[in-house]
Amino acid sequence: MFLSNFERTIVKRYLLPGRSEAFIALVAGISVVVVMLSVAMLVTVMSVMNGFRGELLDRIVGLNGHAIVQAYGGRLDNWQELLKDIRETEGVTDASPLIEQPLLASFNGRVEGVVMRGNTAEDIAELSDELVVGNLSQLKPNEGKVAIGARLAENIGARVGDTITIINPQGRSTPFGTVPRQIGYEVSALFETGVYEFDKAFVIMPIPDAQTLLLTGDKIGMIELKTEDAENVEEIIAPIEEKLEGRAVISTWKQINSSIFEALEIERVAMFFALSIIVVVAAFNILSSLVMLVRAKTRDIAIMRTMGATRKNMMKIFVTTGFTVGAIGSGAGLALGFLILAFRQPIVSFIQLTTGAQIWNPEVRILTELPARVDPWEVVGIVGLALGLSLLATLYPAYKASKTDPVQVLRYE
């Protein structure tokens, strides 16, 4: 919308009213603040929701892959040929054998339920990004060394160099019954994935050590695989499922964690619609401020009309005035939203410090820190929503201003 010099002058005058119009200025200022807060809240909340889903997916996939091939009965024999076929499947970027078994860990009289994972040397090396202390290179077959989650280490009081006992309740059968198998392992490293449930339970060791502990021979528990597109994992693994029919089952990350991600998606949509109502309220504030402005400027409008201003001029003036209020609020809200995201963790820490409440409990939230990921297209949509509603809010007052009859107004002045 292009404005003439006359129209721009009037718009500036209405955006900066005089002292006698302080109430109108106050209402317009409130409109700017409400638009700013609504945009900032939408950008912040949606980015945090995106970050939570993205971080959770990255960390879960980082340990479990995009899909898991698991044999019926939990033991996969002759797995080397199957592993080769999976790796040659189009769209599969990596595949690794894996053993995973719930067991018990004991140290200094403390016993905790753990998840023992037998990994290849390559998978163990990938934990280097999550390493807290210690040396992962020491995890070699038959060396009797393991890496454990940092939260598990805190729970049982173990440190690097200590020896913990891993207990396999399904040990060897004797004339006196089944004797649990207990083996001591030296803790060579502590890791922290950022997922609380993993960090408090996982014990990582080489596959040969896991096979010895579980007495499985050369068998493994499952094969984890990664694909080039996590969102389309079902299509990529379809050929593998046909080959494994009757022998094993494939579970994707969507199936394994379906309840978590479905709940996140529902919450994300619900939060967007709930917070969008604030944008609607901001639009009504713009509407009310413009209605007040039109009523206050009725005489001025009549005079401008008698001096040659057209109805189109009046429409453009008041639409631009209201839209500018929305644009200023949207820009300020965008800046405020990015500022909150940049300092989100200190803000959470400050709130927890001042209130004494732990609003981000990793035992409940799964992740140890508040994540955030900004989706540019989503931000564009939020700003577009705010500007669109602001524009709609200007149409009725602008229309009323353009319909002002200068004869009727000036007759009674």
Angle ∠(63,213,60) on CA atoms, nearest 5? 10
363/195 Cα distance (integer angstroms): 9
Residue-wise pLDDT for 100-115, tens only, equals 889 999 998 898 999 9
Q: Which residues contact 76 (CB under 8 A, 6 or more apart)?
A: 69, 70, 82, 219, 220, 221, 222, 223, 248
Q: Give the whole-angstrom CA distance, residue 407 versus residue 411.
A: 6
| Confidence at residue 158, expressed as pLDDT on a 0 to 100 scale | 92
pLDDT of residue 27: 73
The rounded radius of gyration (Å) of the Cα atoms in the chain is: 32
Q: What confidence tens digit (pLDDT) does each residue in 35-72 have?
A: 898 899 889 888 888 887 777 777 777 667 888 888 77
Please give the Cα distance from 285 to 35 (Å, whole number). Answer: 9
Q: Where are the domains of the chain?
A: 5-57+260-411, 73-245
- Give the residue ranges of the chain where pLDDT is below 50: none
Q: Which residues of 335-367 are buried (b: 16+ CB within 10 A; e: fewer)?
A: ebbbebbeebeeeeeeeeeeeeeeebebeeebb
Q: What is the pLDDT of residue 79?
A: 84
pLDDT at 265: 79
Burial of 55: CB neighbours in 10 Å, binned 0-12, 13-18, 19+: buried
pLDDT at 175: 61
Largest CA distance in the chain: 114
Q: Which residues pair with 181 in a beta bridge?
A: 168
pLDDT for the residue 103: 93
3 state DSSP class of 119: strand
